[in-house]
């Protein structure tokens, strides 16, 4: 994990299970929209980008 946090510490900060965060980090599962938004706010990074389909 970046920022020197354990999965447990990040889980406490986000109110999520460490096991879920491990699965996301390993690529086993993708976060749902709610968790993705929490991760974006915490790490201050965009995880999803809007795609312009108006061509």
pLDDT at 21: 96
Does 51 map to a domain?
A: no
Residue 3: pLDDT above 80?
no
Domain containing 6: what range?
A: 2-43
Inter-residue contact 32 to 40 (CB < 8 Å): no
4-49 per-position pLDDT tens digit: 899 999 999 999 999 999 999 999 999 999 999 999 999 999 987 7
Q: Is 50 domain-assigned?
A: no
Residue 52 is assigned to a structural domain of this protein = no
- Cα–Cα distance, 18 to 36 (Å, whole number): 15
Global model pTM greater than 0.85? no
Domain assignment present for residue 27? The answer is yes
Q: Domain tally for the chain? A: 1
């Amino acid at each position: 994990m970046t920022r020197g946090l354990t999965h447990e510490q990040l889980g406490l900060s986000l109110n999520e299970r460490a096991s879920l965060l491990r699965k996301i980090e390993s690529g086993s599962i993708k976060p749902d929209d709610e968790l993705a938004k929490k991760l974006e706010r915490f790490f201050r990074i965009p995880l999803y980008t809007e795609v312009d389909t108006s061509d």
